[in-house]
Amino acid sequence: MQARTIHIVICALAVSAAAFAQTRADKPGTKDHPLVSRYQGSVIWDQVITNYDAYRLPLGLPLNDTIWDMRGKFKNQMDVEGKITATVYFAPAHSSTLLVYRNYESALKQAGFQTMFSCALSDCDGLINFWAGHWGAALNGGNSFNASQTRFIVAKLPKPTGVVYVTLGAVPLVQDVVMFLDIIETKTMATGLVMVKATEMANDISQTGHASIYGIYFDTGKAELKPESDATLTEISKLLAANSGLKLHVVGHTDNVGTLASNLTLSKQRSDAVVAALVSKYRVSADRLHAAGVGALAPVASNKTEDGRAKNRRVELVEQ
């Protein structure tokens, strides 16, 4: 996402905080994103919604200290594109960055989000400038912020319609806690594919030991791979080619429609099909892959809604 032309300075944010605290009302025309609600009692100071833009996800600490370049390099990073909803909240009085952070961390986990990167306190040094560039503003040397108390998290939620990424920074400002909440909604390709790149799979496996894959397709109740799966299978083969020592459990998951026994059988057959395709078509060594199926026994969302069931129908790559 390019630096925004919101003509404020964050030192002005500090100056206006006292006046804002008197009203504690949302900025007119703003509202919470439907996927991620606000920390209870917070109010919206400002919000910018961009229908489509690029966004650099920090998955490591900055390599430089450039205030004006939000797109500066990080030790690890990933560029994504999509609809961006950037919201600045003020937390209620007497909040702490830890309390705000833990609430968001818990809420994101319950909603099925996977943490990609997080940092706390002095480990987040340099990320203040991420928001400076983000809002097209100067930090006045960072004097208004207590940078050493910053807490930050990046998380993602794979969905059939595209992957959703969230970055949340909780930053002390004078006597307030400011929350910078960005939500990036990527779009599916015209073919309906939800593409997960090999580099993203590698990052997920490195961070959590597994990667959820939604770009592998089967007809309902069947275990024959559909042609639309080829692009994702190619990415999995790239992952294995780039990491010669990596061995994977290929684990099939279903929703809870049907019996437990039938879903266990179906999920195993589907993982068998994925392994067979990787071995025969992509020349992956069979001893690097193990197929397993757990049916509906490990959901990431409620099966009571179609959206939840879609999240549960997936293949996971689990490091052996």
Task: Let me know whether 127 and 220 are in one domain.
Answer: no
The last residue of one of the domains, among 150, 185, 220, is: 185
Of the given ranges (49-53, 207-211, 255-259, 305-309), which has the lowest mean pLDDT? 305-309
Average pLDDT over residues 82-103: 90
CATH number of the domain that 295 lies in?
3.30.1330.60
Q: Output the six-digit token pair for 267.
A: 């999920």
Q: How far apart are CA 234 and CA 201, in angstroms?
A: 12
| Secondary structure letter of residue 58 according to DSSP | E
Domain ends where: 156, 185, 214?
185
Choice between 203 and 139, residue whose per-residue pLDDT is larger: 203
What's the pLDDT at 223? 93
Asked whether residue 192 is assigned to any structural domain, the reply reads no
Calpha distance 316→14 (Å, rounded): 45
Residue 175 lies in a domain: yes
Query: Are residues 131 and 225 both part of a single domain?
Result: no
- Indicate the angle between helix axes 198-208 and 230-242, nearest 10 degrees: 60
For residues 178 and 226, membership in a common domain is answered with no
- Statement to judge: residues 65 and 203 lie in one domain: no
Q: How confident is the model at residue 136 (pLDDT cuts 50, 70, 90)?
A: very low
- Which of residues 185, 211, 227 is at a domain's end? 185
**Number of domains within the chain:** 2
Same domain assignment for residues 72 and 209 = no
4 within some domain: no
Percent of the chain topping pLDDT 70: 79
Sorting pLDDT into bands at 50, 70 and 90, what band is 145? Answer: low
Mean pLDDT in residue range 205-212 = 89
72 & 154 share domain:
yes
Residue 295 covered by a domain? yes
Judge if 20 and 65 occupy the same domain: yes
Residues 26 and 116 in one domain: yes
Shared domain for 61 and 168, answered yes or no, is yes
DSSP 4: P
pLDDT bin (cut points 50, 70, 90) of residue 132 is low
| 213 lies in the same domain as 99 | no
In a domain, 191, yes or no: no
Are residues 203 and 78 both part of a single domain?
no
Return d(Cα 275, Cα 283) in angstroms, integer: 11
pLDDT above 70 (res 67): no
- Which residues have a Cβ under 8 Å from the Cβ of 149 and sit 6 or more positions away? 97, 121, 171, 172
- Tell me which residue has tokens 């002390």: 172
Residue 275, domain member (yes or no)? yes
Take residue 132 and report the two structure tokens written for it: 């400076």
Q: Is residue 193 part of a domain?
A: no
Same domain, yes or no: 117 and 149:
yes
Check residue 134 and give its pLDDT: 52
**pTM of the entire predicted model:** 0.57
pLDDT tens by residue, 166-197: 999 888 876 778 888 999 998 754 444 456 78
Domain range for 89: 10-185
Is the separation of the CB atoms in 316 and 212 below 8 Å? yes
Residue 40 in any domain: the answer is yes
